[in-house]
């Protein structure tokens, strides 16, 4: 065997819509490749879905929202899939119950792959038949961004499923974990004032979800924000200071959550003698104090911030800071450089290291609400985002599992405050 390692070249970015479609669809199959059919079947909790379901659902999206509408003489690949793989679109019709997705043993994984291949062939024919059709292009782009969201969910969900296996299986031995700069956390001050928030095609690229619009003005008080996310080492200091036993640090609902679950550590931490172990996509590893702490609920992030004499940033502050720092919105780690090759997430502004994107989704203090004058997308895809604007908090920045190129400064992720299984951490902010 030749021991010389050839230099890995970044794959060229696909330029046409057909190329982008093929590349992103293939990436989903690549993500499932390390998994067995049994792995792809399992559902570990109601919030998580089987890999097989994800692969079918993201295909259902293209069949339902594009082929059914634009394909002459449309016939579904299999009529029952309309219900089985409909996630939450009431306008489309009935949905199979989410908590029971792991019970769908038929179609098999091989059947789902045949479904994907059939839809891909028909989608490429549709794209070729309607060049320059703005409506088709917009829906294909939405479907591809939707697929990328599910690619991250495939990873978070299989990680959760593997956490129940005493053999501690690894999804990939070389899953990248980015470290923070070794220097102490730095603080960046912002004068605040009237700022513009929301998607800007010049700054953020052409695509955005409807919840990032419309761009609008908002008033921000003077604040300062940390140069990087909070690390495992810093979170361990909170735990060692009895962080989980001090009700004064917690929101009322958060303290109830700690008590009801008898919680003493974040999700995936296990005690081994005098050290903590952590379940990761690499398998079980020791806690690394220099990597961003991950899998925190909003309650844990908020309690840590209070303990640290700080607070969570609002999403307005976060976005304003990300734009002001001109941090690179390159997204997560796994695409373009081969599936599992880490890329540096830090950019230096002057001599100030900044780490804003692609480590962990960062909880903000902001409830997930519509922007002023928000309108959902027209048509049946209008159910995509707007109807979830209740009882959830906004997260910003993307994670190590977010596909590269998927995240931007205006991107608004959202989850309920007790959710832990996403790659979620925090960044500190303070009033000035
Ligand atoms: Fe979906």
Round the average pLDDT of the chain to a whole number and report it: 89
Instruction: Yes or no: say if 395 and 363 are a contact pair by the CB < 8 Å rule.
Output: yes
Q: How far apart are the first and last CA of the chain?
A: 60
The CA 54 to ligand 1 mean position distance, Å, reads 8
Distance separating alpha carbons of residues 94 and 97, to the nearest angstrom: 9
Instruction: Yes or no: say if 420 and 266 are a contact pair by the CB < 8 Å rule.
Output: yes
Distance separating alpha carbons of residues 321 and 190, to the nearest angstrom: 8
Non-local (6+) Cβ contacts of 87 within 8 A are 57, 95, 98
- 60-119 pLDDT, tens digit per residue, is 999 999 999 999 999 999 999 999 999 999 999 999 999 999 999 999 999 999 999 999
> How many residues would you count in the chain?
432
**In this model, does residue 348 exceed pLDDT 60?**
no
Q: Which of 177-186, 369-378, 412-421 has the lowest mean pLDDT?
A: 177-186
Instruction: Yes or no: say if 224 and 429 are a contact pair by the CB < 8 Å rule.
Output: yes
Average pLDDT for 22-41: 96
The CA 58 to ligand 1 mean position distance, Å, reads 6
**Neighbour-count burial of 43, counting CB atoms closer than 10 A to its CB (0-12 exposed, 13-18 middle, 19+ buried):** buried
Strand (E) or helix (H) holding 142: helix 134-162
Q: How far is CA 277 from the centre of its chain?
A: 24
Pairing between β-strand 216-220 and β-strand 193-197 as defined by DSSP bridges: antiparallel
The CA 157 to ligand 1 mean position distance, Å, reads 14
Distance separating alpha carbons of residues 250 and 41, to the nearest angstrom: 37
**What is the value of pTM for the model shown?**
0.92
* Angle 411-146-21 from CA coordinates, rounded to 5°: 115
The CA 60 to ligand 1 mean position distance, Å, reads 9
**In this model, does residue 354 exceed pLDDT 80?**
no
Average pLDDT for 314-334: 72
Instruction: Say what percent of the chain tops pLDDT 70.
Output: 88
The CA 9 to ligand 1 mean position distance, Å, reads 32
pLDDT classification of 177: cutoffs 50, 70, 90? low
The CA 310 to ligand 1 mean position distance, Å, reads 35
**Helix, strand and coil in the chain, % to nearest 5:** 35, 15, 50
**In this model, does residue 327 exceed pLDDT 80?**
no
Instruction: Return the pLDDT at 184.
Output: 80
- 130-144 pLDDT, tens digit per residue, is 999 999 999 999 999
Q: Is the pLDDT higher at 21 or at 173?
A: 21
**In this model, does residue 338 exceed pLDDT 50?**
no
The CA 150 to ligand 1 mean position distance, Å, reads 7
Instruction: Return the pLDDT at 1.
Output: 35
Distance separating alpha carbons of residues 310 and 379, to the nearest angstrom: 43
The CA 89 to ligand 1 mean position distance, Å, reads 9
Distance separating alpha carbons of residues 264 and 351, to the nearest angstrom: 38
The CA 287 to ligand 1 mean position distance, Å, reads 32
* Bridge partner residues of 219 (DSSP): 194
- 252-276 pLDDT, tens digit per residue, is 999 999 999 999 999 999 999 999 9
- Tokens 């890999």 appear where? 51
- Backbone φ and ψ for 414, nearest 5 degrees, come out as -155, 140
The CA 51 to ligand 1 mean position distance, Å, reads 12
The CA 76 to ligand 1 mean position distance, Å, reads 19
- Tokens 């780690």 appear where? 333
The CA 92 to ligand 1 mean position distance, Å, reads 13
Instruction: Yes or no: say if 425 and 360 are a contact pair by the CB < 8 Å rule.
Output: yes
The CA 261 to ligand 1 mean position distance, Å, reads 29
Tokens representing 395 are 């997260």
Instruction: Return the pLDDT at 153.
Output: 97
Average pLDDT for 297-301: 98
pLDDT classification of 353: cutoffs 50, 70, 90? low
CA atoms within 13 A on the CB side of 229: 36
The CA 146 to ligand 1 mean position distance, Å, reads 6
The CA 381 to ligand 1 mean position distance, Å, reads 11
**In this model, does residue 9 exceed pLDDT 70?**
no
Instruction: Return the pLDDT at 5.
Output: 37
Average pLDDT for 230-248: 97
């Amino acid at each position: 065997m030749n021991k010389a390692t050839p230099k890995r070249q970044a794959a060229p970015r696909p330029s046409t819509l057909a190329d982008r479609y093929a590349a992103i669809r293939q990436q989903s199959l690549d993500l499932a490749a390390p998994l067995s059919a049994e792995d792809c079947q399992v559902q570990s909790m109601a919030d998580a879905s089987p890999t097989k379901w994800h692969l079918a659902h993201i295909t259902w999206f293209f069949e339902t929202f594009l082929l059914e509408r634009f394909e002459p003489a449309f016939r579904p690949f299999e009529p029952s899939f309309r219900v089985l793989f409909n996630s939450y679109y009431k306008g489309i019709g009935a949905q199979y119950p989410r908590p029971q997705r792991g019970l769908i043993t038929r179609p098999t994984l091989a059947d789902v792959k045949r479904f994907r291949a059939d839809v891909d062939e028909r989608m490429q024919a549709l794209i070729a038949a309607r060049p320059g059709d703005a409506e088709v292009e917009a829906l294909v782009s939405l479907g591809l961004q939707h697929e990328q969201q599910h690619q991250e969910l495939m990873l978070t969900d299989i990680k959760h499923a593997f956490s129940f296996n005493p053999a501690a299986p690894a999804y990939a031995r070389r899953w990248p974990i980015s470290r923070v700069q070794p220097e102490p956390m730095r603080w960046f001050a912002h004068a605040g004032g009237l700022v513009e928030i929301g998607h800007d095609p010049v700054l953020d690229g052409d695509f955005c979800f409807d919840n990032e619009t419309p761009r609008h003005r908002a008033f921000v008080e003077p604040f300062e924000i940390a140069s990087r996310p909070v690390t495992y080492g810093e979170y361990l200091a909170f735990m060692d200071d009895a962080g989980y036993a001090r009700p004064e640090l917690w929101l009322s609902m958060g303290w109830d959550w700690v008590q009801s679950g008898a919680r003493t550590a974040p999700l995936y931490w296990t005690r081994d003698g005098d050290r903590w172990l952590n379940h990761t996509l690499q398998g079980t590893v020791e806690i690394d104090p220099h990597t961003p702490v991950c899998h925190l609920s909003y309650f844990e992030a908020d309690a840590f911030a209070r303990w640290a004499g700080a607070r969570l940033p609002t999403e307005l502050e976060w976005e304003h800071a990300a734009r002001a720092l001109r941090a690179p919105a390159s997204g997560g780690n796994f695409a373009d450089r081969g599936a599992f090759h880490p890329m540096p997430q830090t950019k230096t502004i002057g001599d100030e290291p900044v780490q804003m994107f692609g480590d962990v989704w960062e909880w903000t203090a902001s409830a997930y609400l519509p922007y002023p004058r928000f309108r959902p997308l027209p048509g049946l895809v209008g159910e995509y985002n707007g109807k979830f604007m209740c009882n959830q908090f906004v997260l910003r920045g993307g994670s190590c599992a977010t596909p590269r190129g998927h995240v931007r400064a205006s991107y608004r992720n959202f989850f309920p405050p007790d959710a832990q299984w996403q790659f979620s951490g925090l960044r500190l902010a303070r009033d000035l």
